[in-house]
Amino acid sequence: MNNTTDTKRAGSLAIQFFKWVENNIYFPNTYFPFKKSWIPVNSKEYETPDPETGRSFRDMWEAQKKMLRPALETRLDDDGREMFLYKNIYLSWSRGQGGTTMATLLMLWKAFNFEDQYILFCDNDALSTDHHESYHFALAKRIIKNSPNLVPWAVVCRLDRRCLPIQQLESDSMRSGVTGYFFDNLQEFSNRFNLVNSSMKNVFNALSVSTIPENMVKSFAKHPYSFVSVGDIYDYQWNSNGFQKEGINERNKYKL
C-alpha cells in the first residue's frame, strides 16, 4: 500500500465527480411529465418542487453531495499523487434517497475518468442467477446510452458486447487488478464479497461503493479503510412517490 502524508485534501476528486455528473449525466423522467424522456442533471426542470414535499430533485442532489463529500476525501502519496482516503464506501440510505443511482454514477465516473479501469457490478449470492442482468448494471448501461456526451465512448467500446471497463460479475472465480466494484444491497461479508474485495489489493486508487441495510452499519464500519454514510429520510426524501403508501403513513411519521 502506498505511504501517504498526514494532511487530508479538501476533496478535489469529489468536486471533479460532482462536476462530471452535472456536465454529462442524463436521468430518466420518472416523476414529472416532461416532454423529454431523459434530461440532464443540471436542467432547470429538476428544480420543480414536488407538490407534496415541497422539495425538488435538485434539493436531493445537493443533499447527496453534502453527504458524499467526506467519503471522497483524499491524501497525497509520496509521489504527490492524489488518492482516496477511503477504499470502501458503504451507503445506508433510506429507499428513495438515490443510493443505488449514486453508487452507479461513482463507478461510471471512475470508468470514464481514470486510466486502465476494471470495474465489477456485483449481486448478492442469494440474488444472483446465471445469465441474469442485475438492475444496477442495466442502469449503468441505460445512463450511458441516454447521456449524449457518453454515447460516442459507448459506441467505440461496443457496450452491448460488454467490452467496457465495466462488467457484471457472473461467477465467484478469483479476479485480479479490479479497480472498483459495486455491490447492491450487500448484507454480509460473503465469499463472493471477500473474493472481489481481495482483488483490489495493492491497486492504486481502487474504490468500492456498496449499498447496505441499516442493521449492517456497525459491522461494515469496522471494515478497514471504510466510510459508512447513513442517510436520514426526514432530511433528504424529496419525492412523495418514494414514501411507503401501506401501513404507517411515512409522510405523517416524518412530519413532511
In this predicted structure, the answer to whether residue 96 has a pLDDT above a threshold of 90 is no
pLDDT on residue 249 = 35
pLDDT (tens digit per residue) in 16-38: 999 999 999 998 765 555 455 78
Average pLDDT over residues 112-122: 86
CA–CA distance, 192 with 169 (Å, rounded to integer): 10
pLDDT (tens digit per residue) in 129-147: 444 567 888 888 889 888 9
Q: Which range among 25-29, 117-121, 215-219, 232-236 shows the weakest confidence by mean pLDDT?
A: 232-236
Average pLDDT over residues 171-180: 73
pLDDT on residue 247 = 33
pLDDT on residue 244 = 41
Measured from the Cβ of residue 66, the count of other Cβ atoms closer than 10 Å reads 11
Answer with the residue of higher pLDDT: 179 or 155. Answer: 179
Question: What residue type is assigned to position 129 of the chain?
Answer: T
Answer with the residue of higher pLDDT: 76 or 247. Answer: 76
Instruction: Please indicate, yes or no, if residue 242 is contained in any of the structural domains.
Output: no
Instruction: Please indicate, yes or no, if residue 252 is contained in any of the structural domains.
Output: no
In this predicted structure, the answer to whether residue 230 has a pLDDT above a threshold of 60 is yes
Instruction: Please indicate, yes or no, if residue 224 is contained in any of the structural domains.
Output: yes
pLDDT on residue 190 = 75
Tell how strand 74-76 and strand 82-84 pair up. antiparallel
Instruction: Please indicate, yes or no, if residue 240 is contained in any of the structural domains.
Output: no
In this predicted structure, the answer to whether residue 116 has a pLDDT above a threshold of 90 is no
Q: Which of 186, 238, 240, 241 is nearest to 216 (CA)?
A: 186
Kindly tell me the sign of the dihedral angle through the C-alpha atoms of 194, 199, 203, 209.
negative
Domain carrying residue 231: 12-235
Q: Which of 194, 188, 217, 180 is nearest to 87 (CA)?
A: 180
On whether the CB atoms of residues 183 and 128 are closer than 8 A, the answer is no
In this predicted structure, the answer to whether residue 72 has a pLDDT above a threshold of 50 is yes
DSSP state of 203: -
Instruction: Please indicate, yes or no, if residue 251 is contained in any of the structural domains.
Output: no
Reported in sequence order, the residue ranges of the chain that DSSP labels E, i.e. its strands, are 26-28, 38-40, 74-76, 82-84, 88-92, 119-122, 166-168, 180-183, 207-211, 226-230
- Which residues, 6 or more positions from 45, have their beta carbon under 8 angstroms from its beta carbon? 32, 34, 39
Instruction: Please indicate, yes or no, if residue 248 is contained in any of the structural domains.
Output: no
Q: What percent of the chain has pLDDT over 70?
A: 70
Measured from the Cβ of residue 196, the count of other Cβ atoms closer than 10 Å reads 21
CA–CA distance, 144 with 58 (Å, rounded to integer): 21
DSSP state of 62: H
Instruction: Please indicate, yes or no, if residue 3 is contained in any of the structural domains.
Output: no
Average pLDDT over residues 65-77: 89
Q: How many domains does the chain have?
A: 1
Instruction: Please indicate, yes or no, if residue 87 is contained in any of the structural domains.
Output: yes
DSSP state of 112: H
**What is the CATH number for 51?**
3.40.50
Supply angle C-alpha 245, 138, 218, rounded to 5.
60
In this predicted structure, the answer to whether residue 3 has a pLDDT above a threshold of 50 is no
In this predicted structure, the answer to whether residue 197 has a pLDDT above a threshold of 90 is no
